[in-house]
Amino acid sequence: MSASQELIRIESLEGRLLFAVPKKGRLLQAALNLLEGADIQFKRENRLDIALVKNLPIALVFLPAADIPTFVGEGRVDLGITGLDQVQEHDAGVRALARARRLSNQWSPKGDEKPQGCETVMELGFGSCKLQVQVPAKGEYAQSKDLIGRNIGTSFVHLAQEYFARLELEAEGYTGDIDSALVAGRKLRTKIIELSGSVEAACALGVADGIVDLVESGETMKAAGLKAIDTVVDTSAILIKSKAPSNPAMVDLIAARIGGVITAQKYVLCQYNVPRTQLTDATKVTPGKRAPTVTTLDEEGWVAVSAMVEKKRIAPVMDDLSKIGATDILVLDIHNSRSS
């Protein structure tokens, strides 16, 4: 792209809310599905990492999931979709930088003028996995503390540093807060080795004694001959916003739309008829998200009930309703929803 085309693009961002979306990897497709459900319409040109939204004053910015907390945290981008693990790693990095500044006396108590950091708006219901400490399945290490003083391979360097600092301090009987201990210039005995991918290979290749990496099904871990011995973070995808968004009303609108899509994905609508005498029992089975809707049927002693039920619970709920005497039980998909 020529410099002038680049300029036109940057100018066309003016007045638009910037929304960061993972550009590849595990979160990309689910994030795109959410945007589609929220009717955020855009066309991503080949190789361009910015896409203007056609029907709203928004621009999507496609970034690596690991960088999104930095852009949102510094207020360069208003909203973002990424993993909680990435936000926590970023926050741990900010703490490490602050400690390093204090140690070198470059720390100013006033801090920067702009509010830093990002806020979680909501969990998005995908990208669930665990950041775990893993060791060779047939090796000598049984607990994380056995790895103190050893080599640890990870892409989550700052979380791993804090995790092992805490372990080392516990092993020494230290009960104060770890930040003060680290600010006091305490050196980590465990060596954290930064790796950018294929972390599971590090033990077999002799680079590391243990690793800290993500586990979902456990297939990759098993294939590499590793086992998990502790969890550092239980993570899933989240929507984050900057502490000083350029257009708070637009942030709220997008959050409400995305929240509606998530609710629609999570719930089904269950409708049934039940004798009025059984209504109390039936509404205990289907209390609804807020409350069930009950209408009188054109048949003496019967009512019709309609309630939202979590998709994953619908089969036992239908069994219970049948036992109570409910009939004509229907389950309907919810296309979209809005609760406020």
Ligand X SMILES: O=P(O)(O)OC[C@H]1O[C@H](OP(=O)(O)OP(=O)(O)O)[C@H](O)[C@@H]1O
Ligand Y SMILES: Nc1ncnc2c1ncn2[C@@H]1O[C@H](COP(=O)(O)OP(=O)(O)OP(=O)(O)O)[C@@H](O)[C@H]1O
* Chain residues that interact with ligand X, rule: CB under 6 A: 25-26, 197-198, 200, 213-221
> Is residue 194 a contact residue for ligand Y (CB under 6 A)?
no
> Is residue 218 a contact residue for ligand Y (CB under 6 A)?
no
89 touches, from ligand Y, ligand X, none (C-beta below 5 to 8 Å by class): none
Nearer to ligand Y, 173 or 197 (CB): 197
Query: Which of positions 89-128 make contact with ligand Y (CB under 6 A)?
Result: 127
> Is residue 85 a contact residue for ligand Y (CB under 6 A)?
yes
SS3 12: coil
Nearer to ligand X, 121 or 214 (CB): 214
Contact assessment for residue 75 and residue 115, using Cβ atoms and an 8 Å cutoff: yes
218 touches, from ligand Y, ligand X, none (C-beta below 5 to 8 Å by class): ligand X
From 6, 7, 8, 24, residue interacting with ligand Y (rule: CB under 6 A) = 24
- In whole angstroms, the minimum distance from the beta carbon of 220 to ligand Y comes to 7
Contact assessment for residue 211 and residue 153, using Cβ atoms and an 8 Å cutoff: yes
From 17, 21, 27, 305, residue interacting with ligand Y (rule: CB under 6 A) = 27
From 15, 109, 197, 301, residue interacting with ligand Y (rule: CB under 6 A) = 197
Burial 213-229 (b: 16+ CB within 10 A, else e): bbbeeeebbeebebbeb
Contact assessment for residue 135 and residue 141, using Cβ atoms and an 8 Å cutoff: yes
Nearer to ligand X, 214 or 318 (CB): 214
Task: Please name which of 225, 170, 176, 236 lies closest in space to residue 202, comparing C-alpha atoms.
Answer: 225
The two tokens of residue 122 are 């909501």
Task: Please name which of 59, 50, 28, 53 lies closest in space to residue 39, comparing C-alpha atoms.
Answer: 53
Nearer to ligand Y, 132 or 286 (CB): 132
86 touches, from ligand X, ligand Y, none (C-beta below 5 to 8 Å by class): ligand Y
- In whole angstroms, the minimum distance from the beta carbon of 130 to ligand X comes to 9
Nearer to ligand X, 215 or 250 (CB): 215
N residues, the chain:
340
- Interatomic CA distance for residues 118 and 72, integer angstroms: 6
The two tokens of residue 180 are 């003060």
> Is residue 209 a contact residue for ligand Y (CB under 6 A)?
no
- In whole angstroms, the minimum distance from the beta carbon of 252 to ligand X comes to 32
- Interatomic CA distance for residues 124 and 13, integer angstroms: 26
> Is residue 53 a contact residue for ligand Y (CB under 6 A)?
no
- In whole angstroms, the minimum distance from the beta carbon of 130 to ligand Y comes to 9
Q: Which amino acid is at 276?
A: R
Strand order in the sheet with 267-275: 293-296, 302-310, 267-275, 327-333
The two tokens of residue 195 are 């790796």
Residues that bind ligand Y (CB under 6 A): 22, 24-27, 64-65, 83, 85-86, 127, 129, 197, 214, 216, 235
